[in-house]
Amino acid sequence: MPFTGFFYASIKYSNVSVGVVCYCLTSFFTAFLSPLINKKPFNITELLLSMLTLAGIGLIFHFDTSFRTGIILGVISSFLASLYTILNERLVKKYDSTVMNLYQMLAGSVALILASPLYLYFFPSKTIIPGTLDIIYLLLLSLFCTVGLYVMVAEVLRKMSAFTVNLTFNLEPVYSILLAIILFNESRQLNLSFYAGLLIIIISVILQAGLSRRKRAGADL
């Protein structure tokens, strides 16, 4: 998928923590793009929650401007991810999610193969064939973190809106940053404003979960 390429590029030009926090902008873009694409009125609650997320991200990026390139790539990634989820929300109502993801993955693979020579021309690499450990990581990443995840997301979109799904993804920085601190010692690069912004993002997710539960409870009455 195009947005995953920009996502990993964002991490490469910044770090894991900045890359995953940029991904939180997906819900912000969804709150604006979904009504435009689906020709529906804007949801004030979704807009307010998105602005809360944006405030958290703004506070996070206040701590350092050295990751500007990584941030720009991360914003592009979240924009494309928003479009992907919105369009899939419409497709899963007509097509089987497994077949749909199969064609999407095949198209993405073909695009990457065609783009590989151009990428290697601008970014030469000493080795092209991955090692044994790299192959294991790639298999885990592709099967469980990509294909399996996208199929589950497509199924969830049958019952939940694209905005709710994308806002839930805002929890990704929580466990990603914890892993980054443990594996890459990134805590040295982060300060109090980063964690304050992260707390605001978590609050926006909790509020959305509470509002969604209240909405379902009202529908059942």
Same domain, 141 and 187: no
On average, the pLDDT of the chain sits at 77
166 neighbors 26 (Cβ within 8 angstroms):
yes
Same domain, 8 and 65: yes
Q: Confidence class of residue 212 from pLDDT cuts 50, 70 and 90?
A: low
Same domain, 176 and 129: no
Same domain, 110 and 188: no
Same domain, 108 and 190: no
pLDDT digits (tens, 9 = 90+) for 96-105: 777 877 787 7
Same domain, 189 and 83: yes
Amino acid 205: pLDDT: 72
Amino acid 55: pLDDT: 83
Amino acid 201: pLDDT: 77
Q: Which whole number is the average pLDDT over 5-32?
A: 80
Assess whether pLDDT exceeds 80 at residue 220: no
pLDDT digits (tens, 9 = 90+) for 80-95: 888 888 888 888 778 7
Same domain, 85 and 188: yes
Same domain, 18 and 41: yes
Amino acid 62: pLDDT: 65
Assess whether pLDDT exceeds 80 at residue 190: no
Assess whether pLDDT exceeds 60 at residue 219: no
Same domain, 77 and 180: yes
Assess whether pLDDT exceeds 60 at residue 221: no
Q: Which whole number is the average pLDDT over 146-163?
A: 72
Same domain, 11 and 86: yes
Amino acid 173: pLDDT: 67
CA pseudo-torsion sign 36, 101, 98, 21: negative
Same domain, 67 and 7: yes
Domain count for the chain, please give it. 2
Assess whether pLDDT exceeds 60 at residue 188: no
Amino acid 168: pLDDT: 67
Domain that holds residue 16: 2-92+161-220
Residues with Cβ within 8 Å of residue 85, at least 6 apart in sequence: 26, 30, 153, 157, 162, 165, 166
Residue ending a domain, among 140, 156, 172, is 156
pLDDT digits (tens, 9 = 90+) for 103-119: 877 887 888 788 888 87
Same domain, 150 and 178: no
